[in-house]
């Protein structure tokens, strides 16, 4: 596809000023290379990393011009000419590396930035998983719940600088006073998909058939049932919810990736128990469940242990 650019427009001056001059001289060709490369690259990964194809072009050029761009760190095999801009996978990883550093600061004003290539590689994999699971999730729940997930994770997505949320006007029944509990609930349901917990939680099929089966796009955003749910089934589903909370807390205590920790934060709210009508009269250990949910907001194992008394 890029044979027309073979041995053309080599980048000889890698200083900031040199790169600016290179852009001024070759911008139309650079943008053409970018758009053609983006057309054949993984659309989901581009969307997750940059938000859109047009945004990717702007951000890649910005990264090329940034003070922090170091040509000495270009991997072997990456062209040092205009075909550098055809290497979309490289630019995605470069962008993800910057995001990785920012993400570590989501829960803290001050934190040591870990310059660890293994962790960065894990983060790129996590981003792919985030995108893949969001696509799966959108097929399992009503449209409003997807919108609530975007709202619940707005700080994370802003930090990532990617993934444009759906247009709010397309979503029905978004009642302000119930927004918080549905944001927490949607985050909870999404994590079930992201962590792939179906085989790990006894009775999960009961929860899935009600809360991860698309129904009408209105509260309670559950599967449409032809028959009224029995009291026993309702009780069993709530019991499954408590098991999921326990499982989330165990995963959280194992110090998962930075991205996973950020996703846990949007679930760490005791309104989740109200949403599923889990009350003290039926669950004597409800205070323990509340502590576990609050602990999910913690960024470190030490903080989580102090939250779970």
Q: Which helix (H) or strand (E) holds 35?
A: helix 16-40
Q: What is the pLDDT of residue 167?
A: 43
For residue 10, name the pLDDT band (cuts at 50, 70, 90): very high
Q: Considering the entire predicted model, what is its pTM?
A: 0.66
Q: How many degrees, rounded to 5, is the angle at CA 9 between CA 7 and CA 15?
A: 125
Residues 7-28: what's their mean pLDDT? 92
Of the listed ranges 167-176, 266-275, 278-287, the one predicted with least confidence: 167-176
Q: What is the pLDDT of residue 207?
A: 97
**Residue 163 burial class via C-beta count within 10 angstroms: exposed 0-12, middle 13-18, buried 19 and up:** buried
DSSP summary character for residue 219: T
Of the listed ranges 47-51, 158-162, 248-252, the one predicted with least confidence: 158-162
Q: What is the pLDDT of residue 172?
A: 52
pLDDT at position 3 over 70:
no
pLDDT at position 237 over 50:
yes
Q: How many degrees, rounded to 5, is the angle at CA 266 between CA 204 and CA 119?
A: 90
* Residue 15, both tokens: 């200083």
Let me know how many helices (H) and strands (E) the chain has, helices first: 14, 0
For residue 185, name the pLDDT band (cuts at 50, 70, 90): very high
Q: What is the pLDDT of residue 7?
A: 53
Most confidently modeled of 3-12, 131-140, 161-170, 273-282?
273-282
> Per-residue pLDDT tens for 32-71?
999 999 999 888 778 777 878 888 999 999 999 998 898 8
Of the listed ranges 45-49, 110-114, 119-123, 195-199, the one predicted with least confidence: 110-114
Tally of residues, the chain: 309
Q: What is the pLDDT of residue 32?
A: 93
Angstrom distance (rounded) from CA 179 to CA 183? 6
Which DSSP string corresponds to 167-220? PGGG-----GGGHHHHHHHHHHHHHHHHTT-TTTSTTHHHHHHHHSS---SSTT
Angstrom distance (rounded) from CA 293 to CA 271? 10
* Residue 204, both tokens: 């999960």
- List b or e across 61-77, with b for residues whose CB sees 16 or more CB atoms inside 10 angstroms: beebeeeeeeeeebeee
Of the listed ranges 19-33, 87-101, 141-155, 187-201, the one predicted with least confidence: 87-101
- Other beta carbons less than 10 A from residue 18's beta carbon: 12
pLDDT at position 1 over 60:
no
> Per-residue pLDDT tens for 64-117?
999 889 889 888 889 999 999 999 988 887 876 655 445 444 444 333 323 455
Q: How many degrees, rounded to 5, is the angle at CA 15 between CA 12 and CA 19?
A: 70
Angstrom distance (rounded) from CA 188 to CA 203? 17
Answer for the pair 62, 94: CB distance below 8 angstroms, yes or no: no
For residue 178, name the pLDDT band (cuts at 50, 70, 90): low
Instruction: Report the chain's mean pLDDT, rounded to a whole number.
Output: 82
């Amino acid at each position: 596809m890029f044979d027309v650019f073979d041995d053309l427009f080599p980048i000889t001056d890698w200083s900031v000023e040199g790169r600016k001059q290179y852009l001024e001289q070759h911008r139309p060709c650079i943008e053409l290379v970018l758009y053609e490369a983006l057309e054949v690259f993984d659309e989901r990964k581009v969307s997750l990393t940059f938000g859109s194809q047009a945004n990717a072009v702007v951000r890649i050029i910005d990264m090329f011009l940034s003070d922090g761009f170091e040509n000495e760190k270009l991997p072997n095999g990456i062209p040092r000419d205009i075909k550098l801009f055809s290497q979309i996978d490289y630019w995605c990883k470069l962008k993800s590396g910057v995001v990785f550093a920012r993400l570590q600061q989501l829960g803290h004003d001050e934190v040591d930035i870990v310059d660890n290539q293994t962790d960065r590689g894990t983060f790129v994999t996590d981003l792919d998983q985030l995108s893949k699971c969001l696509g799966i999730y959108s097929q399992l729940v009503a449209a409003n719940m997807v919108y609530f997930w975007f709202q619940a994770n707005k700080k994370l997505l802003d930090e990532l600088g990617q993934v444009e949320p759906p247009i709010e006007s397309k979503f029905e029944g978004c009642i302000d006073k119930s927004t918080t509990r549905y944001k927490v609930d949607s985050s909870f349901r999404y994590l079930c998909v992201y962590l792939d917990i179906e085989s790990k939680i006894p009775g999960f099929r009961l929860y899935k058939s009600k809360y991860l089966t698309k129904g009408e796009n209105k509260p309670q955003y559950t599967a449409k049932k032809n028959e009224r749910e029995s009291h026993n089934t309702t009780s069993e589903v709530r019991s499954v919810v408590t098991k999921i909370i326990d499982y989330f807390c165990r995963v959280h205590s194992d110090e998962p990736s930075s991205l996973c920790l950020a996703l846990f934060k949007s679930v760490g709210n005791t309104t989740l128990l109200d949403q599923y009508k889990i009350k003290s009269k039926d669950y004597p250990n409800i205070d323990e469940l509340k502590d576990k949910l609050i602990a999910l907001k913690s960024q470190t194992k030490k903080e989580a242990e102090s939250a779970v008394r």
